[in-house]
Amino acid sequence: MFEKHKAHLAEEAAAAATARQAQLAGYLETARTFDGFDAGSFPSVALKAGERGYFSITGVALIEARRAAGHWEGHSQGVSIPVPGMRSVRYRVGATKGRFVPGPEVPTPVDHGTFALTSHRAVFVGSAQTREWTWDKLIAVQHSETQPWTDIAVSSRQKTSGILYDAAHAELVRFWIDFAVAKATGGTAGLAAELEQELAAVPAPVVAPPPPEPPG
């Protein structure tokens, strides 16, 4: 029984390694050769002259920095005076000294819709909001280390904004964002090199031999 369970785990590990290799190989092939879709094959957004469509996904959220609730820090000063005719009730005279500490700015969803990447820009189209981040004004792209969202900072907008996506598609969305930025900035060779290293680091799938049959 133990040998069969061990063989089953080995098969699962081999299948996972094979799937990961295929996934990374697909990313690598895209980084090396993909040049985008034309307007007729990319209905997500209206492409401009000379623009190529790369990737789109629905069901994402537009996020912007919103100030969380703040709080007061400090203490009160003054004297406590009993209220005539009311036992155990005292009236405090004085002033409260302290300061109001505003809450931190946190990424907050403000709309839901479709996110698209092209050779010229990233675009969000929602029910109430639209955003466009053009690559020629790009300052930085930051993927959150703990949450499935990405900030995109451009010089044409004072506040940084970005998109929130589901965790199951996080790697896919981030790859396409990195690909679009690499294409726009001439960095596809570097992206391909990173993918090659990651692909080489995947353990080769090894299938354990079947357990021996018990003696008759």
- Mind listing the domains of the chain with CATH numbers? 35-68+106-187 (2.30.29.30), 71-101 (no CATH)
> Three-state DSSP class for 37?
strand
165-206 residue pLDDT tens: 999 999 999 999 999 999 999 999 999 999 999 999 988 766
pLDDT above 70 coverage of the chain, percent: 72
149-166 residue pLDDT tens: 999 999 988 888 999 999
CA distance 190 to 193: 5
Instruction: State the number of CA atoms in the 13 A half-sphere of 12 facing the CB.
Output: 6
Residue 69 has pLDDT above 60, yes or no: no
Read off the tokens for 195.
């993918």
For residue 141, the 8-state DSSP code is: E
The confidence score (pLDDT) of residue 92 equals 55
User: pTM (2 decimals)?
Assistant: 0.76
For residue 38, the 8-state DSSP code is: -
- Beta strand ranges found along the chain (DSSP E): 53-67, 71-82, 90-101, 105-118, 121-126, 130-134, 138-143, 149-154, 161-164
94-149 residue pLDDT tens: 555 666 555 556 778 999 999 999 999 999 999 999 999 999 999 999 999 999 99
Contact predicate 116/53, CB 8 Å: yes
Q: Which residues pair with 211 in a beta bridge?
A: none
